[in-house]
Amino acid sequence: MDKVTLIIPLLIGILIFRQFIPKEVNRFDFIGLPILGLYKTYSSLPSTLNAEILAELICLLIWAAIIGIYQAKKTKVVYHYDKLSTVGGIHYIVLWIVMLIGRIIILFAFHYTDFMSAIQSGGEQFKNDIFYLVSQSGDWLIWSTIAASSILYSLTLYKDHPEIKEFFHTQIKQKE
């Protein structure tokens, strides 16, 4: 396992737990995680995609998009020390957990027979089979859900909060 693979989950954990304190709005937070998710998805795509994998991907993307929208709806946009900030709070974390549970349910639904075989084998073989199924489902599927939820989160905040829209328009004008 390379260093980047070890650092990325740590960074995601920090980004999630930063949701409990007012976090100043900046462009990186709105585009950084979606770009990272898209990059990791693209870089770990399998060479061939069959219909079952595509169906699983579509289900995961829809689920992640719904979670991203709900996360944005529960996020508060406030001014903290005269700076535009967001606070996701406990809803943000709970929805990440719900997204993970949904991912496991979708994985189970698409690999039902494999899971049932693992359950019937029992004991140590059960644990090994389940670990194999979860770990071999592909990093790109996980990263695609992170990208989808992050993109919808950012777009929903942009759409629903005029102060965020104004912030980005001001940033663009300053660049010109």
* Model pLDDT, residue 41: 85
Cα dihedral: 108, 106, 104, 88 (round 10)? -170
User: CA-to-CA distance for 136 and 114, rounded, in angstroms?
Assistant: 12
Rounded to an integer, what distance in angstroms lies between the CA atom of residue 67 and that of residue 153?
8
In this prediction, residue 162 carries a pLDDT of: 93
Q: Model confidence over 60-99: pLDDT tens digits?
A: 999 999 999 999 999 999 998 988 999 988 888 889 889 9
> pLDDT band at 160, cuts 50/70/90?
very high
Q: Would the pLDDT of 129 be above 80?
A: no
pLDDT of residue 31: 83
d(CA 126, CA 147): 31
- Quote the pTM value: 0.80
pLDDT, mean of residues 90-114: 86
